[in-house]
Every structure is written in C-alpha cells, then in structure tokens.
Amino acid sequence: MKRYDGDVLAVDSLDLEIQSGELVVLVGPSGCGKSTTLRMIAGLEHITDGDLHIGDRRVNDVHPRDRDIAMVFQSYALYPHMTVRENMAFGLVLRKTPRDEIDRRVQEAAQTLGLDDLLARKPRALSGGQRQRVAMGRALVRQPQVFLFDEPLSNLDAKLRGQMRLEIARLHRQLGATMIYVTHDQVEAMTLADRIAILDQGRLQQFGSPMEVYKAPANRFVASFIGTPSMNMIEGALKVEGDAGWFEGDSVRIELPKVELEALRQGLGEQRELTLGVRPSSLSIVNDNGELNGSVEHVERMGAETFAHVSCGSGTVICRFGGDHPVALGDSLSLGLDWAEVHFFDKAGDRLSRGETL
C-alpha cells in the first residue's frame, strides 16, 4: 500500500497480512503513517497504489459503508445532537435494520459496556470514559468483520486508560473479531496486540508478536522504540586481532565472546562501524572487570524498581535495579552484560543476527 499526497510519501510499500480474529496494533511515533494506514483500510483515504483485501475481496474501490468495517475515533466523534441510544443505533437505522433487531443489539452492546443507564443521555452529559464506551458501543452494534481503533485511549487519563485497555482486550477475546488498533503508546501496543506492526516514516519496521519485537528487534529503531526506558545504545566499531575481537567505543572496550565475534564478522563484511544495544534490565553489577564501568550520575526510584544513570565514557547507560537497591549517587559501578540479551546494529541500523532464532 502506498500513498502520495502531493509529493509526500505518507505510507510506503506497506505489506501486512492480518489473520482473521487477530488484534494487530500499528504503533510508531507521530507522523509515521499509522493513522493514514488505518484510514486507508477504513476507506477514508484513497490508496494511491497497491491492493487492500478484506477476506477474499479487493476493497480499494468499495465505499467505506460496504466494507463491513467499524471505526472508533480518537475524538470519539459522537453525534452531539443524538442520545447515546440514537448514536449507537444510527448505523443500523441507515442500514434499514428492523426496529426490534436494533433495540436488541443496542441493549446487548449497552450491557456489555455498562451503558444501560446512560442510553437516554446526550454525549455532552457523559464523562470521557463513558463517551469512549459509547464510541465502542457504536462499533459493536454493527457487528462488523473488522474493528478499527484510532488512538482510542489517548484522550483519557492514565488510570482510565489502563481500565479501558483491559476492556478492549476482554472485548476482543469475547467477540473474536479482527481488530486493528493504532496507537503511539508502546505499552498499549505490547499489552493488547497479538502482533505489533511498528512503523516509522511511512515504512514498516517490523511485524511480529510483542515478545518477538521486544526480544529480537529487527533494527535500531524498533529496539529503542519498544521498552521503557529505551535500550541503551553505545556507538563503536569492531576491532579484530587474530582470533580475538573487541567492540571499541569512546573509552569503552569490550571483549567479544567467540560466537558474537563470528556472527559480527559475517554480518558486517568489510564494514566496521557498530552500535551495541542492551536493555537496562540486561545489565547487572559485577565485582570488577565488568564490561562497562562508570559512576552513577542520577538515580530514579520508581518504587518497585530503580533506574540508575551511569556515565560510561562520553555516554550514559541506564541500568535497572530492584526497588530497594542501595545504589547511590556517585557510586562507582562495574556493570556486566547479559550476552544473550545484547544486540548489535550495523551502520544502517539493521540488527546483526547471531543466527539464533527465538
């Protein structure tokens, strides 16, 4: 799928195959083309080039109303002059669904979402969370083949967001419907998705299960986008002397295990520039001769966990400890790497595979 808007390429050669009943999350920073992709699926944006299939049907030129899709908008887009009941029934009324069938479905959806008591209210008399529910109810009553969610939770406060996230997950289990969900929040992506599609600058970066993209990020972008705090990235180069090899960065010199070295030599070819990536949780304190040494610059205590910012050479690495860990400002730490969790990226940002698959 592609789209040209004037000369701007918003979404470039996106190729996704979504299984029936799957919940796929499109995630990426703002302007990455995720919403545009969703709107193309909905039929609100024209597809410049490429095919969109729903089931066995090519729907590029099918009107949105005939695509059997329902969409939940970021702003909810409830009709302000209609009651909750009318809002939910609108799509069915337009489709000339019989009266009692409409009533039954609205009642059913209202029950599922806990809206029974609010059916006679106008949207302006509802709270944010309730409006959100009505927006979902409006999609629900349509019983569509595919549900589209466009950042549905971004207007809610943190607590409510967590609640609605669970509710959407529950709905998905209950309905077994195909859902495509757009968000910029990687927590939503990780927790909701069967599979995540990570987009950046209109291009698909990786498409895989949450653990796949977390454990085996396809490239540097995915590696730093998924996970909080971000994966530590250390710039450097490969040095080889005889059988031994080092990763050498600015005042960092790390001897590479045999397996790693072999993989890197194969992956890099003549190239030598490298980035080493390691998650804060894959660093641990060792007595001495750890791979990374430095002093603690900053400590963030989150309660259940503690993040220490350790200056190593010209950069800083973040390191995750337990909540009660005694680490303190100014401590000198020697940090060991968990080699199973270390990633290397070449100059282009692609991850150099160690050959072991997950």
Partner 1 sequence: MSDSTFARRAATHLVLILVTMAVLYPLVLVLKIAFGPGQGFSAGLSPIPDTVSLDNFRAVVSETTPDGVWLFGRQLLNSAVIAISTTVVGILLACTAGYAFSRFDFPGRETGLMTFLVSQMFPGVMMMIPLYLILEKLGLLNAPMGLILVYATTSIPFCVWMLKGYFDTIPRELEESAIMDGASRFTIFWRIILPLSAPAVAVTALFCFMTAWNEFVLAFTFMDDPLAFTLPVAVQGYVGEKSIEWGRFAAASVLVSVPVMALFFALQKHLVGGLTAGAVKG
Q: How far is the CB of 89 from partner 1 (least distance, A)?
A: 10
The Cα 309–Cα 207 span in angstroms is 31
Q: Token match 């995540």: residue?
A: 196
> In angstroms, what is the minimal distance from the CB of 146 to partner 1?
11
Residue number with CB closer to partner 1 (53 or 95): 95
Q: Which amino acid is at 302?
A: M
* Identity of the residue, 4 or 79, whose beta carbon is nearer to partner 1 in the bound complex: 79
Assigned token pair, 260:
């790693």
Counting Cα atoms < 13 Å in the Cβ hemisphere of 248 gives 9
Say how many residues make up the chain.
Answer: 358
Considering beta carbons, is residue 177 or 352 the nearer one to partner 1?
A: 177
Compare residues 89 and 254 and give the one whose CB is closer to partner 1.
89
Whole-number CA gyration radius for the chain: 25
- SS3 for 315-357 is EEEEEEEECCCCCCCCCEEEEEECHHHEEEECCCCEEECCCCC
Q: Minimal distance in Å, beta carbon 149 to partner 1?
A: 12
- Closest CB 139 distance from partner 1, rounded Å: 8
Q: How far is CA 301 from CA 13, 272, 287, 306, in A?
A: 43, 38, 23, 4
Question: Least distance to partner 1 from the beta carbon of 131, Å?
Answer: 13
CB 82 within 8 A of CB 89: no
The CB-of-29 to partner 1 minimum distance in angstroms stands at: 22
Burial of 197 (0-12, 13-18, 19+ CB in 10 A): buried
- C-beta of 141 vs 196, nearer to partner 1: 141
Nearer Cβ to partner 1 (124/159): 124
Contact residues for partner 1, defined by CB under 8 A: 42-44, 64-65, 69-71, 73-75, 77-81, 90-91, 94-95, 124, 138, 142
